[in-house]
Structure formats: structure tokens, C-alpha cells
Amino acid sequence: MLYVLVTPARNEAAFIEGTIRSVVAQTQCPLHWVIVSDGSTDGTDDIVRRYAAQNPWIELLRMPEHRDRQFAAKANAFNAGYARLRELNLDYHVIGNLDADLSFGPDHFAFLMSKFADNPRLGVAGTPFREGETTYDYRFTSVEHVSGACQLFRRECFEAIGGYVPIKAGGIDLVAVVSARMKGWETRTFTDRWVMHHRKMGSAGHSALGAFFKGGFHDYLMGVHPVWQFCRCFYQISRPPWILRGSLLLTGYCWAALKRVPRPVSDQFVEFRRHEQMLRLRNVLRWPWKTRAAGPLRRSPTC
């Protein structure tokens, strides 16, 4: 299967060379890769040009400088890269959104292409990301969610959901994955591989504590069920050193709920997501009883 990539990049000179090297080293390179420099003012463009001169399938697309750091800017940059791919009229099967601060093994994309080839209903796929030794706890982040750090879409699925919708508050990757499932596509994070994320999530423009509060606030905007949010926060509060983190997540959620902040997603999206969360919560609550009936539990591989 053939794939293309789009990478929105804004002032990524510190990390983007590592990402480019990882893609160039792939056993299956992309048909085309558009790196969208979203008004970068550091050396990002020069790094991309140097590698594009050696690899004709890499293309730099420059967007005007701006000071706007809202999350919608990333979607707009990606959509500019997607528009460029449409101009080229390439025959590809999968399109990927790849962040500019990642590194990964040489068979990463070949592995994911095999998953798409094996399952024609697979609409969105990816792998977990690591920050140092930290990864997601998949009891509260389902393998059906695919991280926006490296998110691959079957072309038909991406077109069916209307691509990435710019949302000022963020969550474009989450909305895309949930929308795919709403359209009947399967979505999956495959834990056999992983990517290394070199910039800590939520570190741009926010203190660590502020990022947790904002995360809870954002959970409300994205339609998280209040029961799910409480259970998730309670789990984190009960595990040092996450006590403050869980408290701030819950506080941010409750603050947004009390203020009745308008959500940028549809009522159908909220209903669908909450239904999924209640089904998962039911399975989580049944898990200890299944464990006792089946005997000792083997730890499943993470990544």
C-alpha cells in the first residue's frame, strides 16, 4: 500500500531533523511528504530544504508568518499540505499526519501499512508514543484511540469524515478518530511499535499544573461523560505522585461544566462518545471479577 505524509511544523529546528532522518530511513518510504512550515522563524525551513534536495519526494510548503498559536493553526497547516497533495493528483491509499518532533524505527510505516492491507475496515491507525519512559495507561485510553502525534488514515475514511476540522480549542485529532468510528470505520493503536515524542505534551505555552487544569477543561469541551471523568480522576488521585494532576483535571472539567462553556462538537458526537465511555467503564469494572475467575493475570504488552 502506498502512503503520503503531511507534517505541520512551526519553529521545529530543534527536533525536525530527527523526524526527517526517521522517515528517510524507512524500509517503505512515502510516495510524497509535504512539510508545511507554518510561519517558522528559526532554521526549520533550511533543514527541510537540505533534505528535500537529496530526496525529491520531500516537499517544503511555506506559509506566512503569524503569531497565532491556537490549535486551529495546526489543522489549517495540515489542510494546506493536503490541498497540495490533491494538486499533485497522486494515487495513494493512506494519508498520515506526522508531528515534527518524533523519531521511530525503520519499519514503522511498513508495519502500519501491513495492518491496513490486512483489514479493509481499518480507517485510522497508529502506535503509542513515549516521553522518556512514560506511556499511556490503556485502561483509560482505549486502543481504539489513535494519538495525533502520528495518525494514519485510509484515504476513503479521511474523505468520509471531511478531513481535519479546525477547532480553536484543540482536539482535531480526537474529533477525527471518533468521527471515523461514527462512520463505521475501525480505529486502532497497535502497541507492537511506538514512536518517541521529544517534546513533552502540553509544554508549549502552559505550566505543568496549568496544563492539567486545561486538560480537564478540554475534556468537558470534547464531551467526556461526567462519570467517566470522575472515575478517571479518582484513579489518578489515588496514585502518588498523580494526586495533584488528578485533582486539577477534575477541577478543570467541573469549572467548564459550571460555566456551561459551549462545546465545539455536535450533540451527536457527545452522545456517541459518552456511549463508548460507558461501555468501556462497564468492562473496566468487570475486569477484576474476570481476573479472579480466570486465575492470575498476565501483563499484556504495552509498547
Segment 251-261 shows an average pLDDT of 96
**What confidence tens digit (pLDDT) does each residue in 136-159 have?**
655 556 899 999 999 999 999 999
Considering only residues 284 and 10, tell me which one the structure prediction assigns the higher pLDDT: 10
Q: Where are the domains of the chain?
A: 3-197, 208-292
Question: pLDDT band at residue 70, thresholds of 50, 70 and 90?
Answer: low
Question: pLDDT band at residue 298, thresholds of 50, 70 and 90?
Answer: very low
Instruction: Tell me what percent of the residues of the chain surpass a pLDDT of 90.
Output: 71
Considering only residues 242 and 106, tell me which one the structure prediction assigns the higher pLDDT: 106
Question: pLDDT band at residue 294, thresholds of 50, 70 and 90?
Answer: very low
Segment 225-236 shows an average pLDDT of 90
pLDDT at 139: 54
Given its phi and psi angles, is residue 157 left (phi above 0), alpha (psi -120 to 50 degrees) or beta? alpha
208-212: long-range pairs with CB below 8 Å, 24+ = 209/244, 209/248, 212/244, 212/245, 212/248, 212/249, 212/252
Q: What is the length of the chain? A: 303
| 8 A C-beta contact, residue 92 and residue 31 | yes
pLDDT at 244: 85
Domain 3-197, classified CATH 3.20.20.70, yes or no: no
Segment 239-243 shows an average pLDDT of 73
Grouping H, G, I as helix, E, B as strand and the rest as coil, residue 298 is coil
Question: pLDDT band at residue 289, thresholds of 50, 70 and 90?
Answer: very low
Grouping H, G, I as helix, E, B as strand and the rest as coil, residue 43 is coil
Question: What is the rounded CA–CA span in Å between residue 218 and residue 253?
Answer: 7
Instruction: Record the pTM.
Output: 0.87
Question: Which of 29-33, 38-42, 135-139 is modeled with the greatest confidence?
Answer: 29-33
The amino acid at 173: D
Whether pLDDT at 6 is above 50: yes
C-alpha cell at 85: 497533495
**What confidence tens digit (pLDDT) does each residue in 166-197 have?**
998 889 999 999 999 999 999 999 999 999 99
